[in-house]
Chains A and B, each alone.
Chain A
């Protein structure tokens, strides 16, 4: 069965979207809703945590492409964390590390956000 869910954690001025399960063409709209919701609330500092994500197809990858520009125009960013090797491999094959910062932990991504803010 396709099961996917996501939850948003509010961490000071940073929002952490935690992904779980299978992200494909069927479940990608759920993640789109998360981004749309955060953008509508002017929340542009976003971390996406992949720790519990088992699978991603190109439809899932497309979601990140769809929102990144809007978020950066508003001086925010999408930072990605805790990908398993398989999921990272797919991001890497398509060149995503050129456009997105990928960290081993949320803490590292949070630190990067605070450094950028104080520059």
Chain B
């Protein structure tokens, strides 16, 4: 088993496993505990979005996480085979507006962008969705 790859089913129960996987790899890459928590949260948000939007909470979907470390950069590549979605169209959250509209979501992508250097979505309809999260190792 390659410890730089994790494949899980799309169930929220597996989020703890995802966090553990990211924690270990980010630690190996040399990040501080503080940064590790930021990266872990960003990946948790990405996987939660996939479970919710790509697989609509169907617990049988596959989610693959891969770690790449090169040129001083720590990359997490997350691939799923669920429905295509374009989260980059989500506007920045406005908490007062959210309250008026009784919205309870929409914070995830904002946190991902805040805590990572780059968040890149690719979607090939009827094939796969991929999100790449990048963070420089200082």
Contact = CB atoms under 8 A, between A and B. Distances in A.
Contacts of A61: 107
B16 A90 contact: no
B37 A26 contact: no
Contacts of B12: 24-26
Contact of A90 (B13, B19, B103, B111): B111
Given A90-B41, A90-B111, A93-B114, A26 B13 contact: yes
B111 A65 contact: no
B51 A95 contact: no
A65 B96 contact: no
B80 to A, nearest CB: 15
A9 interface: no
Contacts of A94: 93, 95, 107, 110-111
Which of A1, A2, A57, A68: most chain B Cβ within 10 A?
A57
Nearest to B12: A26
A97 B98 CA distance: 14
B16 A1 contact: yes
Contacts of B34: 86
**Chain A interface mostly:** helix
B105 A62 contact: yes
Contacts of B16: 1-2, 22, 24, 26
Given A25-B48, A57-B45, A95-B93, A68 B37 contact: no
Q: How large is the interface on A (under 10, 10 to 19, 20 to 34, 35 or more residues)?
A: 20 to 34
Interface in B13-64: 13, 15-16, 19, 34, 37, 41, 44-45, 48, 51-52
B82 interface: no
A106 B79 CA distance: 43
Contact of A25 (B37, B52, B94, B110): B52
B127 interface: no
Nearest to B20: A1
B105 A58 contact: yes
A8 B56 CA distance: 32
Contacts of A69: 99, 102
Interface of A: 1-2, 22, 24-26, 55, 57-59, 61-63, 65-66, 68-69, 86, 90, 93-96, 98-99
